[in-house]
A and B are shown apart, each in its own frame.
Chain A
């Protein structure tokens, strides 16, 4: 039930032509580098993050091959340590968050009925920084200089004395570099969702996915600085001999852990939250009804975002802090499961009261429920300090976080890929191929990671490059390895499916699923200006709502067409009352230049070419100055009186 056909009745041919002229970008090499279109940028995020996922996944396959048998010699210990560190770091920082931000970039403006993100050039800048930071980190692997201290890089092992070479400098600088991108994207999401919502989309009509992205962005704003401070101090300790983490100089090694997990715990929700948002976005189309308990889910999202800042010590339950503080953090970690429970049961209720259409996206959602709940349970177990002290740093923890990360984040992403592929590419995927891939991925995931619970309990610590056969872990490890190959084959089929859709897929109609949110109320793929007429939103399910559909038909007012320039509508924060139309920036190379200057800066910091770094810093300042330099206007237009 698509609410629009192209051209929609609400706009004239002339308006459409003008919109196309103002928003369209002629394909050219320069255009490729200078685009600020959120859809292109979102797509690039998805592809780039997918690429890093394959790299990190292949690292995991090498690890699993090494661990298949006791005392195997596939890789040396030094290589293994780099592999697992890069695997973890890349999966968390270069795959999970950017992948979900890719969905966010593509979808948020569409879902809220806007023509772009609030800061399109900043958006492009964020992408380039992400790309460069990712390449910066991966480039170290072929040189044997990749981070080798796990994704949380505990001191003193990550200090200069115990870990000379570039490994941990790559880590610290790479994450600082990447942090710029994540912060920029987060600010952009918040402002976009606050100011660019279509008229009528008051807070109680904001799609759950957008709520999730905004809550995530707030978590980034308040969590990422802790990681940045941590990495800055690590870098100073390593390079310039400061003593933040050096007990012999008055420093303290636990400071690293506190700061890391003050970031790190919110970070795991930063990953899962948008993924849960995808679940809420996908369900209505395949249960044929809206998600049950919208206000409860919003409440859960907000409370998870807040509580997640108060549980970090549960990653430090074995460090011997006072029991009183353990009881507090144990209680907080226990409580944080409740909002997740609410969401799970809201989705179950949605399915129980809906009518299920068992297509591939719904399969992944079901896979998600099964897997995430299991992972959540082990999380709730860790919340009890006594139990955690037994299993922490064992494969039991590895099992937990792959259940929540793969079940809780990757499955929803896959659901999202199949669900929005028609919207993103304008092509339908192949259903049977998709089903095969699902079952392989689902089975592979459980065969790989379920046994880890067992051998974790049987005493196998994590981050070991090999083990002896006496403790009896070998059989189970072999099972895990076999499972990981299955999983890889499944993911390969997903990839094949995407390529197949691009090459051979049936053209997709604007609304193949009868989805409920606004992205389905426009063409597939959307025109550069997203909506010929910005809709006026009348309900939580605008694409199912006759009045919203009516608002883009004949009689649409000019203030929602805005065809004289590259413009979109700014509305009020709470009620989305129209405030004014704003001019959106044209495509520009500035973001790329700025990101390039930053790349030079971080690279020269890495190799200690400080004069070059200083020049690069000046270039950064100069680029920003030029970028934001006000255009010259006549005084009367500016309103100058003296």
Chain B
């Protein structure tokens, strides 16, 4: 379990309970097994599973899914029953001439499906409307910008920025405004909210609301080039007070270096090539090509989910990003070996 920070609820337990609540009639042992299989797999290994929702939007859709799932099981059973009937009782070789059961075909193939489809279409519209029912104008607003291949995160009313990590207060609807700096991306947090694409030249909006504190993995879901695979992010839902504190820190200057190594690291950072692309609040570094690093030490990962955030990986990242995340937009840096530990120390200290 290396991804999430500040995890409070155990999703495994609540998910199973949740699904049990949602599931429609499930007496039949076969179906229960099927469903159990799905869930088991869904919960094992902390999958960011759509069937393990933690927020309003995804909960709706999970409900819709189970409805569709059981209908499919029923209709599939019908089709299989007819097929098996034919296979068991209709072997033979004699030419048959009788029978044009048009009424059977029309009712089973068109009538019944039509009734089912109209019903689920209605449910689907209701859920679509619910997904579109975003927060009011005063809701906290996150400005997310997609870059190849990382997420820039800013808060309306706050000057600071972070990357690949979005903090939200639990139980509140948060507006998310989506823009892209280059190609199309798609914003997806399976446990909280279905996708919204980031469209070049336009702004899109979605919202998030987490019912319980915890962290939820999100990922870019629109193919965006070489490193589309490593364009993940984390949504951290925390109690309002924690969130406010976190947001306040986002506005304040980054933590000052305390040790000599950190000071040397800061100097190397600000005077070296790094500052051309990266910003650290309160220092001279104000580049905007790459992620803001003011709190990089406390982030869940490096390179938008490419590697865990620890000293070893950080060193590897700085020394040669291109082996860690081939093709990413940060070129290999001319950092000499002596400076590297200082840089690592400094960046690790930025919480």
Binds A, one of B113-121, B266-274, B340-348: B113-121
In the complex, chain B residues 75-128 whose Cβ is within 8 Å of any chain A Cβ: 75-76, 79-80, 82-83, 85-87, 90-102, 104-106, 108-110, 113-114, 117, 120-121, 123-125, 127-128
Given that A288-B96, A370-B80 are contacting pairs, would A342 and B106 also be in contact in the complex, using a CB cutoff of 8 Å?
Answer: yes
25 A-B residue pairings within 8 Å (CB atoms): A77-B227, A149-B223, A254-B199, A292-B101, A292-B102, A337-B117, A338-B110, A338-B117, A346-B105, A351-B83, A354-B90, A355-B91, A356-B86, A370-B80, A374-B76, A380-B68, A383-B124, A387-B61, A387-B65, A389-B195, A390-B194, A393-B222, A459-B49, A459-B188, A471-B46
The reply to whether A461 and B188 contact each other, CB–CB distance below 8 Å, is yes
- Nearest Cβ on chain A to B40's Cβ, whole angstroms: 10
In the complex, chain A residues 368-399 whose Cβ is within 8 Å of any chain B Cβ: 369-370, 373-374, 377, 380-381, 383-387, 389-394
B309 lies within 8 A of chain A by Cβ: no
A349 lies within 8 A of chain B by Cβ: yes
How far is B128's CA from A391's CA once the two chains are assembled, in angstroms? 14
Given that A78-B327, A338-B114 are contacting pairs, would A459 and B64 also be in contact in the complex, using a CB cutoff of 8 Å?
Answer: no
The reply to whether A461 and B68 contact each other, CB–CB distance below 8 Å, is no
How far is B202's CA from A342's CA once the two chains are assembled, in angstroms? 42
The reply to whether B228 and A390 contact each other, CB–CB distance below 8 Å, is no
Partner of B86, one of A252, A352, A466, A471: A352
Contact partners of B190 in chain A: CB under 8 A: 390, 458-459
How far is B45's CA from A514's CA once the two chains are assembled, in angstroms? 56
Question: 0/1 per residue, A324-365, Cβ < 8 Å to B?
Answer: 001100110011011001111110110111111110000000
In the complex, the chain B residue whose C-beta lies closest to that of A474 is B45
The reply to whether A76 and B38 contact each other, CB–CB distance below 8 Å, is no
Contact partners of A393 in chain B: CB under 8 A: 186, 188, 195, 221-223
Binds B, one of A110-118, A150-158, A215-223: A150-158
The reply to whether B195 and A464 contact each other, CB–CB distance below 8 Å, is no
B160 lies within 8 A of chain A by Cβ: no
- Nearest Cβ on chain A to B347's Cβ, whole angstroms: 22
Binds B, one of A15-23, A126-134, A315-323, A576-584: A315-323
Given that A252-B201, A390-B190, A471-B48 are contacting pairs, would A157 and B224 also be in contact in the complex, using a CB cutoff of 8 Å?
Answer: yes
A55 lies within 8 A of chain B by Cβ: no
How far is B221's CA from A574's CA once the two chains are assembled, in angstroms? 50
The reply to whether B76 and A377 contact each other, CB–CB distance below 8 Å, is yes
Size bin of chain A's contact surface: 35 or more
Given that A348-B86, A356-B90 are contacting pairs, would A318 and B195 also be in contact in the complex, using a CB cutoff of 8 Å?
Answer: yes
How far is B225's CA from A155's CA once the two chains are assembled, in angstroms? 11
Contact partners of A366 in chain B: CB under 8 A: 83, 87
- Nearest Cβ on chain A to B184's Cβ, whole angstroms: 6
B3 lies within 8 A of chain A by Cβ: yes
Partner of B106, one of A296, A320, A377, A459: A296
Partner of A380, one of B117, B129, B132: B117
Partner of A458, one of B42, B64, B196, B228: B42
Question: 0/1 per residue, A288-305, Cβ < 8 Å to B?
Answer: 110011001000000000
The reply to whether B93 and A457 contact each other, CB–CB distance below 8 Å, is no
Residues of chain B touching chain A, judged by Cβ–Cβ distance below 8 Å, are 1-3, 38, 41-42, 44-51, 58, 60-61, 64-65, 68, 72, 75-76, 79-80, 82-83, 85-87, 90-102, 104-106, 108-110, 113-114, 117, 120-121, 123-125, 127-132, 148, 182-184, 186, 188, 190-191, 194-197, 199-202, 204-205, 217, 219-229, 305, 326-327
Contact partners of B121 in chain A: CB under 8 A: 330-331, 334, 383-384
Known: A81-B225, A353-B96. 11 other contacts (CB 8 A): A253-B201, A288-B94, A323-B128, A323-B132, A330-B125, A351-B90, A354-B86, A366-B87, A381-B65, A393-B195, A471-B45
User: In this complex, which of A154, A330, A386 has the most chain B Cβ atoms within 10 angstroms of its Cβ?
Assistant: A386
Contact partners of A33 in chain B: CB under 8 A: none
Residues of chain A touching chain B, judged by Cβ–Cβ distance below 8 Å, are 76-78, 81, 149-150, 154-157, 162-163, 247-248, 252-254, 287-289, 292-293, 296, 318-320, 323, 326-327, 330-331, 334-335, 337-338, 341-346, 348-349, 351-358, 366, 369-370, 373-374, 377, 380-381, 383-387, 389-394, 454-455, 457-459, 461-473, 475-476, 514, 544
Given that A77-B326, A358-B91, A464-B229 are contacting pairs, would A344 and B61 also be in contact in the complex, using a CB cutoff of 8 Å?
Answer: no
- Nearest Cβ on chain A to B256's Cβ, whole angstroms: 33
Contact partners of B90 in chain A: CB under 8 A: 351-356
The reply to whether B201 and A248 contact each other, CB–CB distance below 8 Å, is yes
Partner of B64, one of A155, A162, A387: A387
- Nearest Cβ on chain A to B196's Cβ, whole angstroms: 6
The reply to whether A472 and B221 contact each other, CB–CB distance below 8 Å, is no
User: In this complex, which of B50, B97, B195 has the most chain A Cβ atoms within 10 angstroms of its Cβ?
Assistant: B195
